[in-house]
Amino acid sequence: MASVKELFDLSGRVSVITGGATGLGLQMATALAEAGSNIVVCSRKLENCEAAAHQLEKLGAQALAVACDVTKPDQVEAMKEATLKKFARVDVLVNNAGRAWSAPPEEMPLERWQQVFDLNITAPFLCAQSIGREMIKKKRGKIINIASVAGLVGRNPRNYNSVAYSASKGALVNFTRDLAVKWAQYNIQVNCICPGFFVTPLNQELYERNKENIDRDIPLGRTGGPDDLKGLAVLLASDASDFMTGAIIPVDGGALAW
């Protein structure tokens, strides 16, 4: 029987976090590094990845910065090969990269709809497919998809008006469930975190415009903070979650409990 410390220990593991250079991705990368994992940070801007990697190395982790547009299959493969070249393994994939485009449904440009879907659901598929092949060989792995409470319910357009974001995150939720079933035979656990409102550089302006309404919709009366995803990320990346797969977990201050 393993101790609790052993179950949550990520020493020697290798975790890939897409969109890991800033915001929620960096929060989760930090958590996994603090638990002992080595980290691969990837996003389109190499300089941001390098800055994040340097920050993570101060925690004692080995870190690799990779420029990668995760909507491009060839770049995803190159990112995986760079990971294997440095670490010779990959244990955890956090599909965090995402985007939104705000517009009423009747005015949503098709080009923007497609861009949101490319990053929010096609990219997680491409990353899971590529890295999952390595996990299948090892008969173990952890995939953590970052969706949103927007993928679970309709949203008040007064505060949130991105039908493409909500639809794509809903697709990611069910992608999680189905992939979990498909890959259970390979001992790969696939789970999904659905954050509520966390203030990040991408939504700072939206929050400032709607702070009173957004806070009012959260029973705890505040938005997510800099530590609020860390524990769950470590749980889902560690042996402590070996009997969890296909789980969809909101972290929303109670917003879905109204």
Q: Report how far apart, in Å, the C-alpha atoms of 83 and of each of 65, 67, 174, 187, 203 are.
A: 10, 12, 28, 21, 31
Q: Report how far apart, in Å, the C-alpha atoms of 124 and of each of 9, 31, 72, 127, 254 are.
A: 26, 21, 11, 5, 27
Tens of pLDDT, residue by residue over 89-117, are 999 999 999 999 999 999 999 999 999 99
pLDDT at 202: 78
pLDDT at 57: 98
pLDDT at 56: 98
* Band (205; pLDDT cuts 50, 70, 90): confident
Q: What residues have CB less than 8 Å from 38, skipping those under 6 apart?
A: 12, 13, 14, 15, 61, 62, 63, 64, 87
pLDDT at 7: 98
Tokens of residue 253, six digits: 């201050």
User: Residue 222: CA atoms inside 13 Å, Cβ hemisphere, count?
Assistant: 4
Tokens of residue 190, six digits: 């696939």
pLDDT at 160: 83
The mean per-residue pLDDT over the stretch 51-74 comes to 98
Tens of pLDDT, residue by residue over 115-147, are 999 999 999 999 999 999 999 999 999 999 999
State yes or no: pLDDT of 231 exceeds 90.
yes
State yes or no: pLDDT of 158 exceeds 90.
no
CA 192 – CA 124 distance, rounded (Å)? 12
> What is this structure's pTM?
0.97
| Strand, coil or helix: 54 | helix
Average pLDDT in the chain = 96
pLDDT at 229: 98
Q: What is the CATH number of domain 4-250?
A: 3.40.50.720
Closest CA to 84 of 151, 32, 130: 130
Tens of pLDDT, residue by residue over 1-32, are 999 999 999 999 999 999 999 999 999 999 99
Residues designated as active site: 165
pLDDT at 157: 85
